[in-house]
Chains A and B, each alone.
Chain A
Amino acid sequence: MLQPSSAIVGLGLTDVGKVHGRGAGDFAADAVRLAVSDAGMSMTDIDGLLVMSGLAKGVNLTLADTLGMSDLALLAEIKAFGATVGAMIEYASLAIATGRATAIACVFADAPLRTNSGGGAAWSSYTARGPATGFASLRTAIGFSSPTAHYALAARRHMSRYGTTSEQFGAVAVAQRQWAQHNSQAQFREPITVGDHQQSRMVSDPLHLLDCCLVSNGGAAVILTSAERASDRARPPVYVWGWGQGHPGYSWERGSAFGLVTGAVQSGQAAMEMAGVAPADITVREIYDCYTYTVLVTLEDYGFCAKGEGGPLAASGALGPGGALPTNTGGGQLSAYYLVGMTPLVEAVIQARGDGGDRQVADNNVILVSGNGGILSHHTTMILSPQSRN
């Protein structure tokens, strides 16, 4: 198997959250400029660019022109929904390993929030579809229109099968808010209790408002280069030890694993095998957390606990500050900001560099980062470390 030989040497994160007056393209350009500067490089050093756009669109291949990039050896828009960032890191690492490119920028930005509306309204305005006919109109008529409803169906199945409770979902939200208190870029930093979670508005039973991720404006970018070139950069390199993908292709019939098992099983095994690590070796987890339930089921599928034990694991306090399994140490998409797979990746780079401040985890040697897209349809995993594998 190809040995991973890439490293993240630059990180760019714009202001995130309720940042108005700028489009997604602006955020994307700023994020790349910040990441290039952070890497101690100039724009002419970059010979590859991978972009991902969000709800508001506006991030595309013209970003290369905006940034004055010429003669790029690699340029593409990547789309695997919430699993995109892990895919970007994989494809960039492959291009570096084969020598096709030497320094690749990967960027995501979005600006769905407007000044006069909340996050839910912003999301709906982009996802609402016009009048449909046939089976599409039937689907809408019977409620199957929002991601939250679909994740509620997955979460309910997990509850029915394994006895998982809403309070255990709440424990995930509480732990991540505890982490977010120490993240100055988190949109929500006020402590919450499981009681607050229980009393928050029911969106789609069993999911309350505090089970759901935020909606954010902003952009984030990373610069990848070869492990050899990474060692003399301005900031500590973050080495890529392994990656994986899993796209379960659920059957919608008797025996389907929907809600019970996700693509994290396949993706996690591939990434950990490539990295030469087991779940017990992972010291920090940055898990894609579109919903609290997603964190629980992903932790199970990666093998951090037995299947069905994600709820008790969260309720034990293991995921929060001081816990045995530090997870989503910046507050995640639930409390910090929602920049799809960049939310967990940015925090992984911060932790790997030791830049976490009051939230820095003592043992940052092996960091797992996940991505999850569609309705548990697409999964990616990255294993990162401040240590070179060689």
Chain B
Amino acid sequence: MSVPQVQRDGFSAAFFDAAGQSVLLIKRCTKCGTYGPPRQTTCRRCGAEAEWTAASGDATLVTWTTTSSMTFGYVELAEGPWLETILVNVDPSLLYEGAPVRVTFLRPPDSEAIPAFSFIQTGATRHE
């Protein structure tokens, strides 16, 4: 799997600084405490300013797709927001809705660190 380079801008600098330290940052409302995705600037519920906060890194798989080059999809963070992400070290045939996953960080050359998710235990089996 080859991942294209990711370059920071001013808005995302804090996020990628943290990713470089293996910390996943998301947003949290300064007023009502509602969590939001990293790109959010104001709270979707109350409109107040959202600030960076560290996510636990625990999530469950929502949905995924596999193309010729990679498997990616949405995970639901323990805090509630969905995150668009790559799934790594997974056999696509073993994936299922609700599968517990945990953040890991890819470090491609000449790129910012990229959050990715994988099974908490490798070789996880489908729970029927």
Contacts and interface: CB of A to CB of B under 8 A. Distances in A.
Interface of A: 133-135, 137-144, 149, 152-154, 156-157, 160-161, 202-207, 251-254, 256, 258-259
Contacts of B72: 142-144, 149
A152 B92 CA distance: 14
Contacts of B37: 252
Closest 3 CB pairs of A and B: A134-B9, A160-B97, A152-B65
A134 B112 CA distance: 10
Contacts of B10: 134
A258 B97 CA distance: 13
B6 A156 contact: no
B76 interface: yes
Contacts of A154: 63
Contacts of A152: 65
Contact of A156 (B7, B12, B64): B64
Contact of B86 (A143, A149, A258): A143
20 contacts: A133-B8, A134-B9, A134-B11, A134-B12, A137-B5, A137-B7, A140-B4, A141-B3, A141-B5, A142-B3, A142-B86, A144-B72, A156-B63, A160-B63, A204-B66, A204-B67, A253-B36, A254-B81, A254-B82, A256-B82
B60 to A, nearest CB: 10
Contacts of A138: 6, 12, 112, 114
B107 interface: no
Interface of B: 3-12, 15, 35-39, 44, 62-67, 69-70, 72-74, 76, 80-82, 84-86, 92, 96-97, 111-112, 114, 116
B64 A135 contact: no
A367 B19 CA distance: 53
Given A138-B114, A144-B84, A156 B9 contact: no
Nearest to A137: B6
Contacts of A135: 11-12, 15, 38-39
B95 to A, nearest CB: 9
Contact of A143 (B6, B67, B96): B67
B114 A252 contact: no
B96 A160 contact: yes
B44 A251 contact: yes
B84 A142 contact: yes
A157 B95 CA distance: 12
B4 A141 contact: yes
A320 B42 CA distance: 48
B11 to A, nearest CB: 6
Contact of A149 (B36, B67, B81, B114): B67
Given A134-B12, A254-B81, 6 more contacts: A154-B63, A160-B97, A202-B66, A253-B76, A254-B76, A254-B82
Nearest to A156: B63
B63 A252 contact: no
A251 B73 CA distance: 16
B66 A205 contact: yes
Contacts of A259: 63
A312 B101 CA distance: 32
B110 to A, nearest CB: 12
